[in-house]
Structure 1
Amino acid sequence: MRYLYLLTLLFFSSGLAQAQSDEQPVKRYMGTVELGYLYGNNKQHDVDNFVAAPTVTLFNGIRLHRLLAIGATTGFDFYNNLLITPFALGIRGEMLNTRISPIYSIDAGYGSSFLSHESDNEKKEGGWMFNPALGFRVRSGNSTAYTFAAGYKTQKAETVSSWGHSFTEQKITFKRLSVQLGFMF
Protein backbone atom coordinates (compact mmCIF):
# COMPACT_ATOMS: atom_id res chain seq x y z
CA MET A 1 0.00 0.00 0.00
CA ARG A 2 2.87 2.33 0.80
CA TYR A 3 4.43 1.75 -2.62
CA LEU A 4 1.11 2.51 -4.33
CA TYR A 5 0.90 5.77 -2.38
CA LEU A 6 4.46 6.76 -3.34
CA LEU A 7 3.87 5.83 -6.98
CA THR A 8 0.68 7.93 -7.07
CA LEU A 9 2.48 10.87 -5.43
CA LEU A 10 5.36 10.59 -7.91
CA PHE A 11 2.96 10.39 -10.85
CA PHE A 12 1.01 13.52 -9.81
CA SER A 13 4.10 15.54 -8.94
CA SER A 14 5.68 14.78 -12.32
CA GLY A 15 2.41 15.82 -14.01
CA LEU A 16 2.38 19.12 -12.11
CA ALA A 17 5.99 19.82 -13.00
CA GLN A 18 5.19 19.20 -16.67
CA ALA A 19 2.14 21.49 -16.55
CA GLN A 20 4.22 24.30 -15.08
CA SER A 21 6.91 24.00 -17.75
CA ASP A 22 4.33 24.14 -20.59
CA GLU A 23 3.19 27.59 -19.46
CA GLN A 24 5.26 30.32 -21.10
CA PRO A 25 7.09 32.62 -18.69
CA VAL A 26 6.44 36.35 -18.90
CA LYS A 27 9.40 38.03 -20.56
CA ARG A 28 10.21 41.44 -19.01
CA TYR A 29 11.32 43.37 -22.14
CA MET A 30 8.77 44.03 -24.87
CA GLY A 31 9.45 45.67 -28.21
CA THR A 32 7.32 46.18 -31.30
CA VAL A 33 7.89 47.58 -34.77
CA GLU A 34 4.70 48.56 -36.63
CA LEU A 35 4.25 49.71 -40.22
CA GLY A 36 0.98 51.03 -41.54
CA TYR A 37 -1.14 53.83 -42.95
CA LEU A 38 -3.09 56.77 -41.57
CA TYR A 39 -6.39 57.14 -43.47
CA GLY A 40 -8.54 60.27 -43.41
CA ASN A 41 -9.91 63.35 -45.12
CA ASN A 42 -7.69 66.29 -45.91
CA LYS A 43 -9.70 69.43 -46.52
CA GLN A 44 -7.93 71.92 -48.79
CA HIS A 45 -9.65 74.95 -50.33
CA ASP A 46 -13.11 73.58 -49.33
CA VAL A 47 -12.45 70.30 -51.17
CA ASP A 48 -12.30 66.99 -49.29
CA ASN A 49 -9.41 64.78 -50.37
CA PHE A 50 -9.08 61.24 -49.02
CA VAL A 51 -5.46 60.54 -48.09
CA ALA A 52 -3.50 57.48 -47.01
CA ALA A 53 -0.19 58.47 -45.41
CA PRO A 54 2.49 56.02 -44.19
CA THR A 55 3.37 55.62 -40.52
CA VAL A 56 6.09 53.78 -38.60
CA THR A 57 5.88 53.15 -34.84
CA LEU A 58 8.53 51.75 -32.48
CA PHE A 59 7.67 50.70 -28.91
CA ASN A 60 10.21 49.69 -26.25
CA GLY A 61 8.98 48.85 -22.78
CA ILE A 62 8.81 46.67 -19.72
CA ARG A 63 6.11 44.01 -19.40
CA LEU A 64 4.71 44.13 -15.87
CA HIS A 65 2.05 41.52 -16.60
CA ARG A 66 0.53 39.94 -19.69
CA LEU A 67 -2.21 42.60 -19.50
CA LEU A 68 0.15 45.57 -19.02
CA ALA A 69 3.40 46.76 -20.58
CA ILE A 70 4.61 50.36 -20.17
CA GLY A 71 7.24 52.02 -22.32
CA ALA A 72 8.23 54.72 -24.78
CA THR A 73 6.92 55.12 -28.32
CA THR A 74 8.49 56.97 -31.23
CA GLY A 75 8.26 56.80 -35.00
CA PHE A 76 7.39 58.74 -38.14
CA ASP A 77 3.98 60.00 -39.30
CA PHE A 78 3.57 61.64 -42.71
CA TYR A 79 0.79 64.23 -43.06
CA ASN A 80 0.53 66.19 -46.35
CA ASN A 81 3.88 68.02 -46.47
CA LEU A 82 4.53 67.62 -42.75
CA LEU A 83 6.67 64.91 -41.12
CA ILE A 84 5.79 64.39 -37.44
CA THR A 85 8.02 62.41 -35.06
CA PRO A 86 5.95 61.38 -32.03
CA PHE A 87 7.51 60.90 -28.59
CA ALA A 88 4.95 59.27 -26.32
CA LEU A 89 4.24 57.13 -23.31
CA GLY A 90 2.90 53.81 -24.54
CA ILE A 91 0.77 51.18 -22.84
CA ARG A 92 0.28 47.73 -24.38
CA GLY A 93 -1.51 44.57 -23.29
CA GLU A 94 -2.56 41.09 -24.38
CA MET A 95 -5.94 39.77 -23.24
CA LEU A 96 -5.30 36.01 -23.44
CA ASN A 97 -2.31 33.73 -22.96
CA THR A 98 -3.09 31.77 -26.14
CA ARG A 99 -1.49 31.59 -29.59
CA ILE A 100 -3.98 34.18 -30.94
CA SER A 101 -5.06 36.94 -28.58
CA PRO A 102 -6.81 40.32 -28.68
CA ILE A 103 -4.44 43.21 -27.89
CA TYR A 104 -4.77 46.88 -27.04
CA SER A 105 -2.48 49.90 -27.11
CA ILE A 106 -2.67 53.51 -25.99
CA ASP A 107 -0.05 56.12 -26.91
CA ALA A 108 -0.14 59.69 -25.62
CA GLY A 109 2.54 62.33 -26.01
CA TYR A 110 3.94 65.05 -28.22
CA GLY A 111 4.58 64.97 -31.96
CA SER A 112 7.59 67.02 -33.00
CA SER A 113 8.24 68.44 -36.47
CA PHE A 114 12.02 68.80 -36.10
CA LEU A 115 12.65 66.45 -39.06
CA SER A 116 10.11 68.16 -41.33
CA HIS A 117 11.47 70.26 -44.20
CA GLU A 118 11.04 74.00 -43.62
CA SER A 119 11.69 76.82 -46.05
CA ASP A 120 12.75 80.35 -45.06
CA ASN A 121 9.13 81.52 -45.35
CA GLU A 122 7.56 78.64 -43.45
CA LYS A 123 7.72 77.37 -39.88
CA LYS A 124 6.19 74.05 -38.78
CA GLU A 125 5.46 72.91 -35.24
CA GLY A 126 4.04 69.71 -33.85
CA GLY A 127 1.64 69.26 -30.97
CA TRP A 128 -0.08 66.82 -28.67
CA MET A 129 -0.84 63.31 -29.93
CA PHE A 130 -3.20 60.55 -28.76
CA ASN A 131 -3.60 57.10 -30.35
CA PRO A 132 -5.72 54.27 -28.89
CA ALA A 133 -5.87 51.00 -30.89
CA LEU A 134 -7.31 47.47 -30.74
CA GLY A 135 -6.22 44.40 -32.64
CA PHE A 136 -4.85 40.90 -32.28
CA ARG A 137 -1.50 39.14 -32.19
CA VAL A 138 -0.44 35.72 -33.44
CA ARG A 139 2.56 34.09 -31.80
CA SER A 140 5.20 32.89 -34.22
CA GLY A 141 7.67 31.56 -31.67
CA ASN A 142 8.40 31.54 -27.97
CA SER A 143 9.02 35.26 -27.68
CA THR A 144 7.94 36.70 -31.06
CA ALA A 145 4.57 37.47 -32.60
CA TYR A 146 2.88 39.26 -35.50
CA THR A 147 0.32 41.96 -34.73
CA PHE A 148 -2.52 43.68 -36.54
CA ALA A 149 -4.15 46.75 -35.02
CA ALA A 150 -6.58 49.49 -35.98
CA GLY A 151 -6.95 52.72 -34.05
CA TYR A 152 -7.76 56.41 -34.20
CA LYS A 153 -4.83 58.85 -34.14
CA THR A 154 -5.26 62.51 -33.25
CA GLN A 155 -2.29 64.82 -33.88
CA LYS A 156 -2.16 68.61 -33.44
CA ALA A 157 0.19 70.73 -35.55
CA GLU A 158 0.72 74.33 -36.59
CA THR A 159 2.22 75.98 -39.65
CA VAL A 160 3.17 79.65 -40.05
CA SER A 161 3.85 81.02 -43.53
CA SER A 162 5.18 84.54 -44.08
CA TRP A 163 5.34 86.80 -47.14
CA GLY A 164 7.17 90.01 -46.45
CA HIS A 165 5.48 91.63 -43.45
CA SER A 166 2.33 89.46 -43.48
CA PHE A 167 1.93 85.90 -42.29
CA THR A 168 -0.64 83.13 -42.24
CA GLU A 169 -1.00 80.90 -39.21
CA GLN A 170 -2.79 77.57 -39.56
CA LYS A 171 -3.61 75.33 -36.60
CA ILE A 172 -4.39 71.79 -37.71
CA THR A 173 -5.80 68.77 -35.90
CA PHE A 174 -5.20 65.64 -37.93
CA LYS A 175 -7.72 62.88 -37.17
CA ARG A 176 -6.83 59.63 -38.88
CA LEU A 177 -7.79 55.96 -38.82
CA SER A 178 -4.56 54.04 -38.21
CA VAL A 179 -4.09 50.52 -39.60
CA GLN A 180 -0.81 48.79 -38.76
CA LEU A 181 0.94 45.45 -39.14
CA GLY A 182 3.69 44.77 -36.64
CA PHE A 183 6.28 42.44 -35.25
CA MET A 184 6.49 41.93 -31.48
CA PHE A 185 9.66 40.67 -29.79
Structure 2
Amino acid sequence: MSVFSQEFKVQSVEKALSRRPEQSLKQIAVTLGVGYSTLQKWIRLAKKNQLEKTESNMSKEKSPQDWNTVERFEAIVHCHHLTDDQASAYCREQGIYLHHLNTWKAEFLSESKSTESVYKQAQTKLKQENKRLHKELNRKEKALSETAALLVLSKKCQAIWGKRRPINRLLRSPTLQRTH
Protein backbone atom coordinates (compact mmCIF):
# COMPACT_ATOMS: atom_id res chain seq x y z
CA MET A 1 0.00 0.00 0.00
CA SER A 2 1.37 3.40 -1.00
CA VAL A 3 1.61 6.20 1.51
CA PHE A 4 0.96 9.66 0.09
CA SER A 5 2.03 12.90 1.66
CA GLN A 6 -0.62 15.33 2.77
CA GLU A 7 0.68 17.88 0.28
CA PHE A 8 0.29 15.39 -2.56
CA LYS A 9 -3.29 14.64 -1.53
CA VAL A 10 -4.19 18.32 -1.45
CA GLN A 11 -2.47 18.92 -4.76
CA SER A 12 -4.31 15.97 -6.31
CA VAL A 13 -7.68 17.23 -5.09
CA GLU A 14 -6.98 20.72 -6.40
CA LYS A 15 -5.93 19.30 -9.75
CA ALA A 16 -9.05 17.14 -9.91
CA LEU A 17 -11.35 20.04 -9.03
CA SER A 18 -9.68 22.43 -11.48
CA ARG A 19 -9.54 19.98 -14.39
CA ARG A 20 -10.61 20.88 -17.90
CA PRO A 21 -14.13 19.88 -18.92
CA GLU A 22 -12.91 17.27 -21.42
CA GLN A 23 -10.82 15.49 -18.76
CA SER A 24 -12.49 12.83 -16.67
CA LEU A 25 -11.72 12.12 -13.04
CA LYS A 26 -10.44 8.68 -14.06
CA GLN A 27 -7.92 10.27 -16.43
CA ILE A 28 -6.68 12.54 -13.65
CA ALA A 29 -6.35 9.54 -11.31
CA VAL A 30 -4.32 7.62 -13.92
CA THR A 31 -2.12 10.66 -14.54
CA LEU A 32 -1.44 11.02 -10.84
CA GLY A 33 -0.90 7.30 -10.38
CA VAL A 34 -3.58 6.88 -7.73
CA GLY A 35 -6.73 4.82 -7.69
CA TYR A 36 -9.97 6.35 -8.89
CA SER A 37 -11.77 5.54 -5.65
CA THR A 38 -8.86 6.97 -3.63
CA LEU A 39 -9.09 10.24 -5.49
CA GLN A 40 -12.87 10.34 -4.95
CA LYS A 41 -12.33 9.75 -1.23
CA TRP A 42 -9.84 12.62 -1.02
CA ILE A 43 -12.33 14.91 -2.79
CA ARG A 44 -15.09 13.96 -0.36
CA LEU A 45 -12.78 14.63 2.61
CA ALA A 46 -11.74 17.97 1.14
CA LYS A 47 -15.35 19.03 0.69
CA LYS A 48 -15.97 18.24 4.36
CA ASN A 49 -12.80 20.18 5.28
CA GLN A 50 -11.30 17.01 6.69
CA LEU A 51 -8.40 17.01 4.27
CA GLU A 52 -5.82 19.38 5.70
CA LYS A 53 -4.80 22.09 3.27
CA THR A 54 -1.34 23.57 3.44
CA GLU A 55 -1.20 26.66 1.22
CA SER A 56 2.54 27.23 1.53
CA ASN A 57 3.47 23.81 0.12
CA MET A 58 0.82 23.88 -2.59
CA SER A 59 2.32 26.88 -4.25
CA LYS A 60 5.79 25.29 -4.31
CA GLU A 61 4.90 21.79 -5.55
CA LYS A 62 3.97 21.09 -9.12
CA SER A 63 2.58 18.20 -11.09
CA PRO A 64 4.87 15.90 -13.11
CA GLN A 65 3.69 17.52 -16.34
CA ASP A 66 4.96 20.88 -15.11
CA TRP A 67 8.54 19.67 -14.76
CA ASN A 68 10.85 21.02 -17.44
CA THR A 69 13.46 18.92 -19.23
CA VAL A 70 16.34 19.94 -16.96
CA GLU A 71 14.40 19.10 -13.80
CA ARG A 72 13.36 15.75 -15.24
CA PHE A 73 16.94 14.93 -16.15
CA GLU A 74 18.18 15.92 -12.69
CA ALA A 75 15.56 13.67 -11.06
CA ILE A 76 16.59 10.76 -13.29
CA VAL A 77 20.26 11.26 -12.44
CA HIS A 78 19.48 11.64 -8.73
CA CYS A 79 17.52 8.38 -8.62
CA HIS A 80 19.86 6.42 -10.88
CA HIS A 81 21.95 4.92 -8.08
CA LEU A 82 19.08 4.56 -5.57
CA THR A 83 17.17 1.38 -4.80
CA ASP A 84 13.50 1.21 -5.76
CA ASP A 85 12.39 1.98 -2.20
CA GLN A 86 14.74 4.96 -1.92
CA ALA A 87 13.72 6.22 -5.35
CA SER A 88 10.03 5.88 -4.42
CA ALA A 89 10.63 7.87 -1.24
CA TYR A 90 12.41 10.59 -3.23
CA CYS A 91 9.55 10.64 -5.74
CA ARG A 92 6.95 11.02 -2.97
CA GLU A 93 8.89 13.96 -1.57
CA GLN A 94 8.88 15.57 -5.01
CA GLY A 95 5.22 14.82 -5.71
CA ILE A 96 5.91 12.37 -8.54
CA TYR A 97 5.97 8.61 -8.94
CA LEU A 98 8.56 6.12 -10.02
CA HIS A 99 6.72 5.45 -13.26
CA HIS A 100 7.14 9.14 -14.14
CA LEU A 101 10.90 8.73 -13.85
CA ASN A 102 10.81 5.58 -15.98
CA THR A 103 8.71 7.33 -18.61
CA TRP A 104 11.02 10.34 -18.67
CA LYS A 105 14.06 8.09 -18.97
CA ALA A 106 12.47 6.23 -21.89
CA GLU A 107 11.69 9.56 -23.57
CA PHE A 108 15.30 10.72 -23.19
CA LEU A 109 16.59 7.46 -24.63
CA SER A 110 14.19 7.47 -27.57
CA GLU A 111 15.08 11.10 -28.33
CA SER A 112 18.78 10.28 -28.30
CA LYS A 113 18.22 7.29 -30.61
CA SER A 114 16.17 9.35 -33.03
CA THR A 115 18.82 12.08 -33.09
CA GLU A 116 21.48 9.41 -33.65
CA SER A 117 19.61 8.11 -36.70
CA VAL A 118 19.19 11.66 -38.04
CA TYR A 119 22.93 12.25 -37.59
CA LYS A 120 23.75 8.95 -39.32
CA GLN A 121 21.50 9.83 -42.26
CA ALA A 122 23.09 13.26 -42.54
CA GLN A 123 26.56 11.73 -42.30
CA THR A 124 25.74 9.21 -45.05
CA LYS A 125 24.40 11.99 -47.27
CA LEU A 126 27.52 14.07 -46.70
CA LYS A 127 29.77 11.11 -47.49
CA GLN A 128 27.93 10.52 -50.78
CA GLU A 129 28.18 14.22 -51.68
CA ASN A 130 31.89 14.19 -50.78
CA LYS A 131 32.46 11.13 -52.98
CA ARG A 132 30.61 12.73 -55.90
CA LEU A 133 32.62 15.96 -55.56
CA HIS A 134 35.92 14.05 -55.43
CA LYS A 135 34.95 12.17 -58.57
CA GLU A 136 34.11 15.41 -60.35
CA LEU A 137 37.35 17.00 -59.14
CA ASN A 138 39.41 14.06 -60.44
CA ARG A 139 37.67 14.28 -63.83
CA LYS A 140 38.39 18.00 -64.07
CA GLU A 141 42.01 17.52 -62.99
CA LYS A 142 42.50 14.92 -65.73
CA ALA A 143 40.97 17.25 -68.32
CA LEU A 144 43.16 20.10 -67.12
CA SER A 145 46.34 17.99 -67.23
CA GLU A 146 45.44 16.77 -70.74
CA THR A 147 44.93 20.37 -71.88
CA ALA A 148 48.24 21.39 -70.32
CA ALA A 149 50.00 18.48 -72.04
CA LEU A 150 48.52 19.47 -75.42
CA LEU A 151 49.61 23.06 -74.90
CA VAL A 152 53.17 21.96 -74.06
CA LEU A 153 53.24 19.69 -77.13
CA SER A 154 51.99 22.45 -79.39
CA LYS A 155 54.74 24.78 -78.13
CA LYS A 156 57.35 22.08 -78.72
CA CYS A 157 56.02 21.52 -82.21
CA GLN A 158 56.28 25.24 -82.92
CA ALA A 159 59.84 25.24 -81.61
CA ILE A 160 60.77 22.30 -83.81
CA TRP A 161 58.93 23.16 -87.04
CA GLY A 162 58.63 26.86 -86.67
CA LYS A 163 55.57 28.99 -86.85
CA ARG A 164 52.52 27.32 -88.30
CA ARG A 165 51.23 28.56 -91.54
CA PRO A 166 47.53 29.05 -92.01
CA ILE A 167 45.82 26.32 -93.97
CA ASN A 168 44.96 28.65 -96.88
CA ARG A 169 48.63 29.26 -97.55
CA LEU A 170 49.28 25.56 -97.58
CA LEU A 171 46.63 25.05 -100.21
CA ARG A 172 48.16 27.73 -102.44
CA SER A 173 51.62 26.28 -102.31
CA PRO A 174 52.70 24.75 -105.72
CA THR A 175 53.43 21.36 -104.27
CA LEU A 176 49.95 20.88 -102.90
CA GLN A 177 48.04 22.10 -105.96
CA ARG A 178 46.37 19.50 -108.08
CA THR A 179 46.50 19.30 -111.77
CA HIS A 180 43.30 18.76 -113.70
Could you say which TM-score interval applies, normalised by the shorter chain? under 0.3
Judging by fraction of residues, say which structure has more strand: 1
Judging by fraction of residues, say which structure has more helix: 2
Larger radius of gyration: 2
